[in-house]
């Protein structure tokens, strides 16, 4: 029997899924992929096969409140069930944003694990509940198939203590107020891809810029995460589509004390109305901003590039120098102009852009004699989850 792994990435209003078939020892090839969007409003279900051709589309009236994820997963299970007879599901891998202080590796989910993960909801109130709803739904509609939780925080759990703490009294650290770091599945995928794609920087001092709608950067030394721009939540560090990135906590005190803003209003401001969207007043989407002639769009881009350059300097310093810079995720993989501006701003580090290679999206985008090399490497968090799920179920 061939090994088939279902990967679920459940967000607040969408569920992305990928069905992987076994391909070699640790690689998996996509058989089906798709998403259910609009959960809570007007759910739309779309499936593509391994060639990218759309093979199924559906929509349905929304079920009673609170059952959105369960109902969506039931539709997915009903769709997949007849398709997988001779490729019985070996396991289901779930992206889980927060593993708290203790989960530093993927784990097979049982009731005790699920209770632990529920305990981390206050640490990631916007993401963790959706992730857990996805897990509960697959337990209900695909019974008997083991579920594995793969954490966005896990790759960062061995940061040195100085990178893991805030300078506030230790009691807060003890209860979990720590600099966790996120996008760990993406960084781990890139770290594992380096020997094949960028062998000259594999095992060396590398800064990876994950620039998507969510954006962060990670310092990797000898394949291990040393520090990250994200901290306690996925708000810190770089400005993002709608999230603010680094902000002086005094601003929050001002908003509360002088403007009378409630916690919910501040959460809405920092998560949904800030970043590229807040700066430009136009859009959270980099393509729209790059195409705009509005000076506010140009300023939002200037700010984004400035912060990437600034954080690269900081991460290069904690690494004691830098050998390579990797761009990944939507903006990192596609936005030639952003990569060009970042690389030119880092020329002082010994990084010399090759404009032609950059226009062709690399993979190597620096000149052959550039002391520090820069690369474009597409990330694949789902592939990473499939590998982890297979490994966690080894022998079952
Ligand atoms: P998510 O964090 O939602 O997974 P992605 O990694 O898909 O996000 O990245 C989305 C971002 O990538 C958006 O800002 C989008 O504008 C940007 N992007 C995608 N393609 C391009 C492109 N060709 N040029 C510039 N930006 C792009």
Whether residue 84 is predicted with pLDDT greater than 90 in this model: the reply is no
- Mean pLDDT for the stretch of residues 354-380: 97
Whether residue 2 is predicted with pLDDT greater than 70 in this model: the reply is no
The whole-angstrom separation of Cα 148 and Cα 305 is 37
- The CA 332 to ligand 1 mean position distance, Å, reads 8
The whole-angstrom separation of Cα 282 and Cα 119 is 37
Per the CATH hierarchy, to which homologous superfamily does domain 3-158 belong? ATPase, nucleotide binding domain (3.30.420.40)
- Give yes or no: 294 in active site: no
- Mean pLDDT for the stretch of residues 26-54: 89
Six token digits for residue 257: 């004390």
Pocket test residue of 14, 127, 282, 287 for ligand 1, highest count of atoms within 8 A of CB: 287
The whole-number pLDDT of residue 382 equals 95
Pocket test residue of 187, 212, 214, 300 for ligand 1, highest count of atoms within 8 A of CB: 212
- The CA 330 to ligand 1 mean position distance, Å, reads 3
Helices (H), the chain: 68-80, 111-118, 128-141, 161-164, 170-174, 184-197, 249-257, 263-272, 275-280, 286-291, 295-319, 329-334, 336-345, 355-359, 381-392
Nearest to 5 by CA among 93, 66, 76: 93
Sign of the Cα torsion 61, 47, 394, 158 reads negative
Question: Which residues pair with residue 36 across a beta bridge?
Answer: 15, 45
- The CA 267 to ligand 1 mean position distance, Å, reads 23
Confidence grade of residue 87 (pLDDT, cut at 50, 70, 90): low
Confidence grade of residue 396 (pLDDT, cut at 50, 70, 90): low
- The CA 130 to ligand 1 mean position distance, Å, reads 22
Nearest to 187 by CA among 93, 343, 326: 326
The whole-number pLDDT of residue 114 equals 97
- Mean pLDDT for the stretch of residues 166-187: 96
Q: Model confidence over 312-336: pLDDT tens digits?
A: 999 999 999 999 999 999 999 999 9
Ligand 1 atom with minimal separation from the 215 CA: 2
- The CA 25 to ligand 1 mean position distance, Å, reads 31
User: With contact defined as beta carbons under 8 Å apart, do 220 and 226 qualify?
Assistant: yes
Class of the domain covering 199-376: alpha beta
Q: Which of 110, 152, 268, 380 is catalytic?
A: 152
Q: Model confidence over 102-158: pLDDT tens digits?
A: 899 999 999 999 999 999 998 888 889 999 999 999 999 888 999 999 999 999 999
Does 8 or 60 have the greater pLDDT score? 8
The whole-angstrom separation of Cα 169 and Cα 333 is 40
Domain with CATH 3.30.420.40 in the chain: 3-158, 199-376
Ligand 1 atom with minimal separation from the 289 CA: 16
Smallest CA separation from ligand 1 atom 27, residue: 331
Smallest CA separation from ligand 1 atom 3, residue: 213
Q: Model confidence over 261-287: pLDDT tens digits?
A: 999 999 999 999 999 999 999 999 999
- pTM flag (> 0.85): yes
Q: Tell which phi-psi region holds residue 205, choosing left (phi > 0), alpha (psi between -120 and 50) or beta.
A: beta
Pocket test residue of 331, 338, 342 for ligand 1, highest count of atoms within 8 A of CB: 331
Whether residue 163 is predicted with pLDDT greater than 90 in this model: the reply is yes
* DSSP calls for 55-66: EEEEE----STT
Residues with CB under 6 A from ligand 1: 212-214, 241, 285-287, 290, 329-331, 334-335
Whether residue 39 is predicted with pLDDT greater than 90 in this model: the reply is no
């Amino acid at each position: 029997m061939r090994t088939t792994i279902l990967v679920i990435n459940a967000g607040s209003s969408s569920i992305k899924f990928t069905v992987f078939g076994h391909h070699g020892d640790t690689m998996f090839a996509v058989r089906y992929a798709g998403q259910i969007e609009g959960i809570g409003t007007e759910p739309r279900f779309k499936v593509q096969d391994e060639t990218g051709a759309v093979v199924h589309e559906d929509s349905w009236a929304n079920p009673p409140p609170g059952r959105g994820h369960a109902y969506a997963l039931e539709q997915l299970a009903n769709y997949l069930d007849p398709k997988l007879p001779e490729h019985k599901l070996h396991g289901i891998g779930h992206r889980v944003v927060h593993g708290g202080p203790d989960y530093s590796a993927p784990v097979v989910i049982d009731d005790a694990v699920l209770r632990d993960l529920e305990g981390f909801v206050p640490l990631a109130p916007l993401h963790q509940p959706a992730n857990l709803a996805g897990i509960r739904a697959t337990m209900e509609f695909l019974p008997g198939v083991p579920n594995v939780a793969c954490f966005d925080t896990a790759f960062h759990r061995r940061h040195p203590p100085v990178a893991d703490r805030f300078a506030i009294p230790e009691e807060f650290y003890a209860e979990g107020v720590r600099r966790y770091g996120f996008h760990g599945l993406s960084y781990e995928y890139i770290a594992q891809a380096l020997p094949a794609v960028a062998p000259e920087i594999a095992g060396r001092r590398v800064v990876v810029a994950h620039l998507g709608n969510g954006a962060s950067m990670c310092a990797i030394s000898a394949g291990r995460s040393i520090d990250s721009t994200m901290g306690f939540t996925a708000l810190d560090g770089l400005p993002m589509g709608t999230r603010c990135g680094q902000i002086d906590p005094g601003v929050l005190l001002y908003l509360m004390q002088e403007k009378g803003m409630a916690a919910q209003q501040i959460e809405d401001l920092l998560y949904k109305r800030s970043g590229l969207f807040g700066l430009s007043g136009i859009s959270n989407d980099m393509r729209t901003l790059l195409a705009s002639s509005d000076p506010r769009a140009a300023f939002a881009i200037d700010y984004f590039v400035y912060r990437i350059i600034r954080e690269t300097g900081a991460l290069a310093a904690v690494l004691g120098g830098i050998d390579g810079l990797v761009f990944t995720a939507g903006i990192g993989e596609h936005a030639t102009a952003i990569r060009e501006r970042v690389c030119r701003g880092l020329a002082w580090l010994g990084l010399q852009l090759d404009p032609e290679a950059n226009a062709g999206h690399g993979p190597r985008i620096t000149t052959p004699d550039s002391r520090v090399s820069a690369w474009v490497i597409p990330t694949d968090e789902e592939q990473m989850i499939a590998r982890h799920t297979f490994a966690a179920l080894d022998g079952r």
